[in-house]
Homo-oligomer: A and B are copies of this chain.
Amino acid sequence: MAGNSEQKASQIDWAAFMPGLALDAVIFGYHNGQLKILLLEYKNTPLFALPGGFIQQDEDLNNAAKRVLHERTALSNIYLEQFYVFGDLSRHNASQLKQIIVANGHFIDDSHWLLQRFISVGYYALIDFTKAIPTPDAISDSCQWFDITNLPPVMLEDHQEIIRKALETLQTDLDRKLIGFNLLPETFTMGDLQGLYETILGKPLLRPAFQRKMLSLGILERIAKKQTGMAHKAPYLYKFIGG
């Protein structure tokens, strides 16, 4: 849950949103052999949080998620999946929310639904790190990539748990569906792809087996014969062919 409007809180038409309901997005990217996610840093607080937002009364839930993703990354056509709804009472932390609002110089009545208990739909997204343009929202100082193994210690509400569950879902989805390619640029080497799998699954894989398995799926097309530069045999470039 995070502010999703570019306006000041006092100008927001809260009635345009569904009360008590939010969505949080765990946006994965892959760079330099690290799996990363996007986090916002709230103004004047030491709090980090997942990008999120509210659902407009006249908006499909999944479209609200797409909108949030576009606002934070400037990307469209993103791979996006619901993975869990977080609806425990214990995740509610009114004082933390109030701290954020106050730190932004706004006031809100204690009875407002924004300070009450929330139910939040968790989404995870896979994007091409090189194409995203991280963009903070109105109540945040920054929107930055964090290595999944090195997250800030203090996070909003249960966002640590949401991230954990998102990663768990990504790990089990990775070899059931063919989604890994969404984290890479259009063209990539087999080494890139293997590194991605190893990073997500957290274990080394054998190169010959990995190569054969990927090629046997028939979803990779070998593009250029060679790449440039290094002190060893140049790898082939591949691209994903939807299929």
Name A residues whose Cβ lies closer than 8 Å to a Cβ of B: 18-21, 55, 57-62, 64, 82, 84-90, 116-117, 119, 121, 172, 176
Please, which residue of chain B has its CB at the minimum distance from the CB of A172? B176
What chain B residues lie within 8 Å of A55 (beta carbons)? 87, 119
What chain B residues lie within 8 Å of A117 (beta carbons)? 18, 57
6 interchain residue pairs of minimum CB distance: A61-B87, A60-B88, A18-B20, A85-B121, A60-B89, A82-B85
Assuming the contacts A82-B84, A84-B82, asked whether A119 and B21 have C-beta atoms less than 8 A apart, the reply is: yes
Min CB gap A176→B, angstroms:
8
What chain B residues lie within 8 Å of A61 (beta carbons)? 85-88, 119
Number of copies of this kind of chain in the complex: 2
Min CB gap A20→B, angstroms:
5
Cβ contacts A to B, 25 pairs, < 8 Å: A18-B21, A18-B117, A18-B119, A19-B19, A19-B20, A20-B20, A20-B21, A55-B87, A55-B119, A57-B116, A60-B87, A60-B88, A60-B89, A60-B90, A61-B85, A61-B88, A61-B119, A62-B87, A62-B88, A64-B87, A82-B85, A85-B85, A85-B121, A172-B176, A176-B176
Q: Is the interface of A mostly helix, strand, loop or mixed?
A: mixed
What chain B residues lie within 8 Å of A59 (beta carbons)? 89
What chain B residues lie within 8 Å of A84 (beta carbons)? 82
What chain B residues lie within 8 Å of A119 (beta carbons)? 18, 21, 55, 61
Bound complex: CA of A218 vs CA of B116, how far in Å?
Answer: 47
What chain B residues lie within 8 Å of A21 (beta carbons)? 18, 20-21, 119
Contact status B58-A89, CB under 8 Å:
yes
Among A85, A86, A119, the most chain B Cβ lie within 10 Å of the Cβ of: A85
What chain B residues lie within 8 Å of A64 (beta carbons)? 87
Bound complex: CA of A55 vs CA of B90, how far in Å?
Answer: 15
**20 further contact pairs, Cβ within 8 A, besides A21-B119, A172-B176:** A18-B21, A18-B117, A20-B20, A21-B21, A55-B119, A57-B116, A57-B117, A58-B89, A59-B89, A60-B88, A60-B89, A60-B90, A61-B85, A62-B87, A62-B88, A64-B87, A82-B84, A82-B85, A85-B85, A85-B121
What chain B residues lie within 8 Å of A19 (beta carbons)? 19-20
What chain B residues lie within 8 Å of A18 (beta carbons)? 20-21, 117, 119
